Structure 1
Amino acid sequence: MVCGVTASLLAPAATATPPDRFQRVGTLSVFANSSAGEHTAAEIAAATADGRTVVYTDSPAGRIGFAALGRDGALSPAGVLDLPGEPTSVDVLGRLALVAVDTSESSTAPSGVLVVVDLDAEAVVATHDLGGQPDSIDISPDGRHAAVAVENQRDEDVADGALPQAPAGFLAVVDLAGGPRAWTVRRVGLTGLAEVAPEDPEPEYVSVNGRGQAAVTLQENNHIAIVDLRSAEVVNHFSAGTVTVEGVDVADDGRIDPTATITAAREPDAVAWLDDRTLGTADEGDYQGGSRTWTVFDAASGRVVFSSGNELQQVAIRQGQYPDGRSDNKGVEPEGLAVASFGRHRYAFVGLERANLVAVYDVDDPRRPRFVQALPTGVGPEGLLPIPATGTLVVSAEEDSAEDGVRSSLTSYRLTRTPLTVALARNEGSPSIVSDGIGFGALSGLSGIPGNRGDVVAITDSAYVPTRVLTIDTRSAPARVRAELTVTKGGRPVDYDGEGIAARRDGGYWVAAEGDGKARPNLLVEVSRTGEVVREVPLPAEVAATATSNGFEGVTTTGRGDGEQVWLAVQREWKNDRRGEATLARFTPATGEWSFAAYPLDAASTGWVGLSEVTALDDRTLLVLERDNQRGAAAVTKKVYRVDLSALATAAAGQPKPLAAKTEARDLLPALTAGGGVAHDKPEGLAVVGDGPLRRLVGVVDNDGVDDAPGESVFLRLGWIR
């Protein structure tokens, strides 16, 4: 099978069916159930029948956690329960949580148990030996059986992870008759089925349909087995097969270039039944494959009835969340899959682990899925939990690094009929910025365009090469990247760390290129309207010698012709600067003169505070974007200040810098958190749109190229300003 771009992706979002969409409501950092200094990781989650209690696994801490789902769809911490090992999966039966727990001491002696927890008492009431290392659990819809995929996973440090590695995995069928202590466990062998290492099946994920049939993925074996739970017998099995996918990016080179073709084994991770006859898989790959797709199979014949082709890659590119750093290794990496009915419609949710997105599909016709939307998540979405009883989807994201400001989280989304245009006006909806196929991200500077009432330009930073100027239509909802211009020097594409851009009244641009305090200097770059570098303007030598790694972060202009003044923001203190003071630099193109002023930074409660952008409100006023380097609850300073140029004095290089005065104009934290996510650390672009006394203020977040970051490209609509 050869797969390319699908038509559903290219259709306007407004025409997608069903008309409802999911909107993020809130995000709960998992450490709220313990302490900020503790390493946690929410992986798999389940909910009670009423949907009001969410139970999630926390493998690093050896426990399960509880979260309460409010009437408004927001989650709140509700405690934890320690377990005798590492929980790998959980499901809920009535008021009982069934938790698969890995108790292995080594890969050659795997072991695990099924722990049964009374949710009312929050206490363990039974434990059953599973005979191996469990991975996934699912309870049959009739509540009579639980199926546990016992993987006995390979050790990737042994023989470079090659199969086979004994002992073999199997499926454990738990008969749920009587009280929890009376339950029994049967083993279903899965050896001899797959073409790849048939003696060493490695079951990864399990899903049970309404007929009591468990679909089991044997990921490394690239195989799927169907097991009848009543008889505990394999009733069907088939290879997941290979697929040729056109239009993907396979090079980790800083370029979003989806022009390659791959042929790969699917090696599915998650599996879910779309109905009792068709099943879907998330084709992550974990051994020698990974096709970057999700697939729908006819369960009786094993025939592929749908493959997403390159659509998941295109979704991430279109929303500015494509992880180019993973291009040579499974790309967006589809890992999770869940299917559920909400009202009159049935949806499939596909988790893209490296893009930090969940792709939502309408599967009313299970053989013709239609892309609906993509939801931004925390870092590393692992568990997908639809809760139809409350009209909610909960996504657990496992990556947790307090040092980097990335915390494991549970994020809730609710089905809504609120038009996206209305939500975006309140900074609540997503996506807030898209393209029609132009790869974008790491937007580190914005500028209004003189004489243009709707467009702004943005500059890309060093996360991507070459440097590009992107034109964004702000009148569209979402904002739309509609054009790109490659910056060239001597006719060749050039790579700057572009951190600011200013569109000039006389045409062309000024670009602020940040230095590293070592070999790469801070440069003010004049760029023609065709993208060619006209000149590079360095700082005076005595100033450049004091530079640190925190350099130019924004650029703007006032005046025109011989009266043009170029203003630049230096992010933080340089050598010899007074503590707590950054720098505003002024360059006069007509004379080549530089002068400087000190800018007083807000005090940092945690980390540091610096400048991210400077933009001219008019020829008399600068707007300066000041931020700390914190995410989430630790974020305090994300503010826009006014600087009155009539009161601003500057001094020549080497002279004491006069101190600027500032007055607060906007606090960006409400806008950054309005959409139910965590506050982003890097609002880095700010632009004034339109002409006249009353204009619009817009902003953008630098998503760090989806590299160890949430990666959401956020376009902020900050209201009118005069």
Structure 2
Amino acid sequence: MRLHTLCLTSVLALCAGAAQAEQNFNRVASFATSLNMAEGEDRARETSAEIIAVSGDGNTLVYTDGPLGVAGLVDITDPAAPKALGNVDVGGDPTSVGVLGQIAFVAANTSKNFIETSGHLVAIDLASRKEVARCDLGGQPDSVAIAPDGSFLAVAIENERDEDLGDGRVGQQPAGYLYLAEIKDGVVDCASGRHVDMTGLAEISPEDPEPEFVDINALGETVVTLQENNHIAVVGRGGAILSHFSAGAVDLTEIDATDEGALIFTESQPGRKREPDSVKWIDENHFATANEGDMDGGSRGWTIFNKSGEVVFESGASFEHALIALGHYPDKRSDAKGVEPESVAFARYGDQPLLFIGSERGSAVGVYDVTDLKNPVLLQVLPSGVGPEGYATIPARNLLVSANETDLGEDGAARAHVMIFQRAEGPARYPYLTSEGADERIGWAALSGLAADPEAPGRLYAVNDSFFKAQPTIYTIDATQTPARITSALRVTRGGAPALGLDMEGVTLAREGGFWIANEGDLDKNVPHALYRVDASGEIVEEVAFPTELTNHAKRFGAEGIAWVGDRLWIAIQREWGDDPKGFVKLVSYDPATKEWGAVRYPLAAPTSGWVGLSEIATRGDYVYLLERDNLIGDKAATKVVTRVPVSELNPAPLGGELPVVSREVVRDLLPDLLSNGGYVLDKVEGLTFDAEGTAWIVTDNDGVDDSSGETMLIRVTDLP
């Protein structure tokens, strides 16, 4: 119960922050790592930002880019306008970086295989970009840490196992160890380097410790996680093992442990090993771990230990619950490790000690006040880009930086990014939408269509799409609050059971009560192109299949929105079908009283690349409004617009014959709206509606947090013509 209370308290604290003018982080910029490639290089190549650090003056970021074998540099003198400074070859696969003043220490893996392991530590002068030292590490490195006083550094030499050998179990030789070396005159003294044996500590595979992550406190003590062994050690500056202990296990409740295409948080996992990844000292006696898990565990949360091994605080499932409320829960990871907390960072911003817990799979970072180590308070959850791996804290400049390693390529998908957040007085811009405060735990994501209550200003309804094939849901949203609140979830059923396999892309209120749903359909997967009327309980009471005059030419990309115009329902078809001229799509009408179908044609904008289609239709006054978008993301995006068509032109002709063409007027370019929160342009602008006061609301689809940043934007527009 206490853990659930923590979640509620944390999100309420987020909301109270705006009213009390507290300090909040907001994202101010996103930097695509592909921008650091030199002119003439193939920017379609995979890049990455995994671990990140900052120069002593706080103006230069240094991140590891494994695919390119480089350290990437970014000028953040103006944090809202980061500039590419290029890449520096490090002679191997960089795994971690630390910076002292203007010297970057980059660990690089040069192993031939899992048996013949090798690696080195490169010291790079950031001003000249020149290598000033190189130390042979004797094995495959993972994490680098620099002592707070700058006197020495530590490197975790993991010598990771071959996951294809012996079911990926530890132990496998050669064994890893801890590498310690002195720093003299700001540069590592390779001659002082020594190996600290860490075998014989853990119970699971004492012969194969696999050190994962390191950090050093003000006393010169190095904490080391042995992730695969579910073990932690604290090592003195001279290399003596001061303490070591099992990371222990957690009983998880109220989680979704099954990947079934539904968000059902009623399962439990007793005795789940923590298997911590990142670790960070909070003070001289306490550190926090992000419990990502590996072979046998992953507790979906994070823990504060003292250096004797006592648990001071355990988050349990509360961190995951916070991400669930914000639509950042990755359902496809339910049967694995859930949101996978992987990163942890700590710094004091003013007098406030803040801990940052990064979720690799939830693509978000939690900001905790750890003034009371036994009762941390979640202040914010920030959208961190796809697959965040590392964070850099810059408290002197009130900045936080994330490194997001996942690069999904150029074809309309998200590139790897560095994201910059600035802390200042004022409200938090994120989230736009939360289910916190509802009477039940409501998981949500992949919102694909919007409708509004014509009598209640700010009352909206949203549907999810086929990502949740086992749980089609209509959500009620109170948009009069900031952030907007999902207050209830209505499950769509057939015969009292979940209506499996729906792909709901549009919703509007039914005149009899309940809703009409537009189902996109995919004939190759036996998903029908159809309209469904559901009653107030969510039960399907009427199914209207598209006529053969439409389905004979149907492709996958069908109904994407539904709205009333007079007594007829109008449905926006996303892309051209077989009988459409190139660049034209249909607006299809259906009269529920007469059962008559008809259509007109709508002229799309020409794509710059990829495709352009419709994703929503809504009615206000003398016009129908449409969302028109391309399938591109980031700086490739060109068409994300609201258009309108006069109702007077919606004169449907019978299907199968010549169809009239309506006019198209662009009334809002949404690119500035999509860039307003400091991120890159999201792909799927999916829902549009007008509430009882005529305010326009626009929502984006986060693809169920699957190869997605997980972000959902709910944009309020009061000046739409």
User: Which amino acid counterpart does residue 200 of structure 1 have in structure 2?
Assistant: D
- CA–CA separation in structure 2 for the residues paired with 1:8 and 1:459: 25
User: Which amino acid counterpart does residue 268 of structure 1 have in structure 2?
Assistant: P
Query: After superposition, what is the alpha-carbon deviation per residue over 1:372-419, rounded to whole angstroms, capped at 9, x for unaligned?
Result: 111111110001111112110000100002135121000000112112
What's 2:521 paired with?
515
- CA–CA separation in structure 2 for the residues paired with 1:46 and 1:517: 50
* Aligned mate of 1:337, from 344, 348, 351: 344
Structure 2 residue 683 is matched with structure 1 residue 681? yes
Shift of 1:178: 4.5
Shift of 1:233: 1.4
Shift of 1:579: 0.4
User: Which amino acid counterpart does residue 500 of structure 1 have in structure 2?
Assistant: G
Does the 8 Å contact 2:292/2:337 carry over to 1?
yes
Shift of 1:180: 3.5
Of 593-602 and 239-248, deviating more is 239-248
Does the 8 Å contact 2:412/2:636 carry over to 1?
no
SS at match of 1:463: helix
What's 1:457 paired with?
461
Does the 8 Å contact 2:403/2:419 carry over to 1?
yes
What's 2:360 paired with?
353
Does the 8 Å contact 1:66/1:79 carry over to 2?
yes
Query: After superposition, what is the alpha-carbon deviation per residue over 1:293-313, rounded to whole angstroms, capped at 9, x for unaligned?
Result: 1000011x2100100011111
Of 349-358 and 250-259, deviating more is 250-259
What's 1:707 paired with?
706
Structure 2 residue 663 is matched with structure 1 residue 649? no
Shift of 1:182: 4.1
Shift of 1:181: 6.8
* Aligned mate of 2:575, from 557, 572, 576: 572
- CA–CA separation in structure 2 for the residues paired with 1:720 and 1:163: 61
What's 2:452 paired with?
448
User: Which amino acid counterpart does residue 198 of structure 1 have in structure 2?
Assistant: P
Structure 2 residue 485 is matched with structure 1 residue 480? yes
- CA–CA separation in structure 1 for the residues paired with 2:370 and 2:324: 23
SS at match of 2:34: helix
* Aligned mate of 1:220, from 228, 234, 238: 228
Does the 8 Å contact 2:7/2:322 carry over to 1?
no
Does the 8 Å contact 2:107/2:142 carry over to 1?
yes
Shift of 1:507: 2.3
Shift of 1:486: 1.2
Does the 8 Å contact 1:580/1:601 carry over to 2?
yes
* Aligned mate of 1:286, from 290, 294, 301: 294
Query: Relative to 1, partners in 2 of residues 1:656 and 1:193: Cα closer, same or farther, differing over 3 Å?
Result: same
Does the 8 Å contact 1:607/1:630 carry over to 2?
yes
What's 2:430 paired with?
430
Of 504-513 and 627-636, deviating more is 504-513
What's 2:283 paired with?
275
- CA–CA separation in structure 1 for the residues paired with 2:203 and 2:412: 43
Shift of 1:255: 1.3
SS at match of 2:145: strand
Shift of 1:70: 3.0
- CA–CA separation in structure 2 for the residues paired with 1:41 and 1:56: 9
- CA–CA separation in structure 2 for the residues paired with 1:410 and 1:146: 25
- CA–CA separation in structure 2 for the residues paired with 1:419 and 1:293: 27
User: Which amino acid counterpart does residue 431 of structure 2 have in structure 1?
Assistant: P
Structure 2 residue 202 is matched with structure 1 residue 194? yes
What's 2:128 paired with?
121
Does the 8 Å contact 1:513/1:552 carry over to 2?
yes
User: Which amino acid counterpart does residue 14 of structure 1 have in structure 2?
Assistant: C
CA RMSD in angstroms, aligned pairs only: 1.5
SS at match of 1:43: coil
What's 2:404 paired with?
397
Structure 2 residue 670 is matched with structure 1 residue 668? yes
What's 1:500 paired with?
506
SS at match of 2:128: coil
- Runs of at least 5 residues in structure 2 that lack an aligned partner in the other structure: none
- CA–CA separation in structure 2 for the residues paired with 1:491 and 1:155: 49
Shift of 1:162: 1.3
- CA–CA separation in structure 2 for the residues paired with 1:490 and 1:397: 45
Shift of 1:529: 2.3
- CA–CA separation in structure 1 for the residues paired with 2:208 and 2:412: 39
SS at match of 1:633: helix
SS at match of 1:658: coil
SS at match of 2:523: coil
Of 681-690 and 66-75, deviating more is 66-75
Query: After superposition, what is the alpha-carbon deviation per residue over 1:9-32, rounded to whole angstroms, capped at 9, x for unaligned?
Result: 345133469932111111001001
Does the 8 Å contact 1:450/1:504 carry over to 2?
no
Query: After superposition, what is the alpha-carbon deviation per residue over 1:240-270, rounded to whole angstroms, capped at 9, x for unaligned?
Result: 0111121111010111111111121101000
Does the 8 Å contact 2:508/2:564 carry over to 1?
yes
Does the 8 Å contact 2:15/2:482 carry over to 1?
no
**Identity over the aligned pairs, expressed in percent?**
43
Query: After superposition, what is the alpha-carbon deviation per residue over 1:592-620, rounded to whole angstroms, capped at 9, x for unaligned?
Result: 000011110000001100000001113x3
What's 2:423 paired with?
415
Shift of 1:315: 1.0
- CA–CA separation in structure 1 for the residues paired with 2:337 and 2:669: 39
What's 1:598 paired with?
601
User: Which amino acid counterpart does residue 7 of structure 1 have in structure 2?
Assistant: L
- CA–CA separation in structure 1 for the residues paired with 2:300 and 2:474: 29
Shift of 1:487: 1.3
Alignment map for 1:33-112 (pairs within 5 Å): 33-34=36-37, 35-112=42-119
- CA–CA separation in structure 2 for the residues paired with 1:8 and 1:18: 21
SS at match of 1:720: coil
SS at match of 1:5: helix
User: Which amino acid counterpart does residue 378 of structure 1 have in structure 2?
Assistant: G
Does the 8 Å contact 2:505/2:561 carry over to 1?
yes
User: Which amino acid counterpart does residue 212 of structure 1 have in structure 2?
Assistant: G
Does the 8 Å contact 1:521/1:544 carry over to 2?
no
Report the count of equivalent residues.
Answer: 703
SS at match of 2:321: helix
Query: After superposition, what is the alpha-carbon deviation per residue over 1:319-352, rounded to whole angstroms, capped at 9, x for unaligned?
Result: 0111010001000000000001111101000010
Does the 8 Å contact 1:580/1:600 carry over to 2?
yes
User: Which amino acid counterpart does residue 157 of structure 1 have in structure 2?
Assistant: D
- CA–CA separation in structure 2 for the residues paired with 1:169 and 1:380: 26
Does the 8 Å contact 2:53/2:392 carry over to 1?
yes
- CA–CA separation in structure 2 for the residues paired with 1:4 and 1:330: 19
- CA–CA separation in structure 1 for the residues paired with 2:143 and 2:135: 15
What's 2:219 paired with?
211
- CA–CA separation in structure 1 for the residues paired with 2:7 and 2:642: 40
Does the 8 Å contact 2:21/2:427 carry over to 1?
no
SS at match of 2:61: strand
- CA–CA separation in structure 1 for the residues paired with 2:405 and 2:264: 29
- Runs of at least 5 residues in structure 1 that lack an aligned partner in the other structure: 421-428
SS at match of 1:606: coil
User: Which amino acid counterpart does residue 395 of structure 2 have in structure 1?
Assistant: P
Shift of 1:682: 0.3
Alignment map for 1:215-364 (pairs within 5 Å): 215-229=223-237, 231-262=238-269, 263-299=271-307, 301-364=308-371
Shift of 1:448: 1.3
- CA–CA separation in structure 1 for the residues paired with 2:456 and 2:140: 62
